[in-house]
Amino acid sequence: MRLLLDTCIVYDWLMGEIKDRPSIERIQAEGAMVSSVSVWEMAIKNGLGKMLLPSARIAEEIQEQGFQWLNINPYVACHQMAITT
């Protein structure tokens, strides 16, 4: 099973704020995924002065952590919406 990490989890991971060893091990073992929307959200919040980023290389840093990108497009979003309604 793969995990899709929420933006706040990705941010905390990159900032070294996740201290819970079982959570760290699960994220590493499960092959976690990150949406490009999370990068977009962090960039917007950074631009508004609401979130400091560890660097301007946020996308590269996410990949360097071994996370995979969620391949999201409008058709995937519509499919998910159909499943939950």
Tell me the C-alpha distance between 10 and 65, whole Å: 10
Residue 37 belongs to some domain of the structure: yes
Residue 52 belongs to some domain of the structure: yes
Residue 50 belongs to some domain of the structure: yes
How many domains, in total, are found in the chain? 1
Residue 43 belongs to some domain of the structure: yes
Residue 1 belongs to some domain of the structure: no
Average pLDDT by stretches of 10, the chain with 85 residues = 89 95 91 92 95 91 93 72 55
| Residue found under tokens 């989890």 | 9
- Domain of 24 in residue numbering reads as 7-84
Residue 39 belongs to some domain of the structure: yes
| Tokens read off for 22 | 């079982």
Residue 2 belongs to some domain of the structure: no
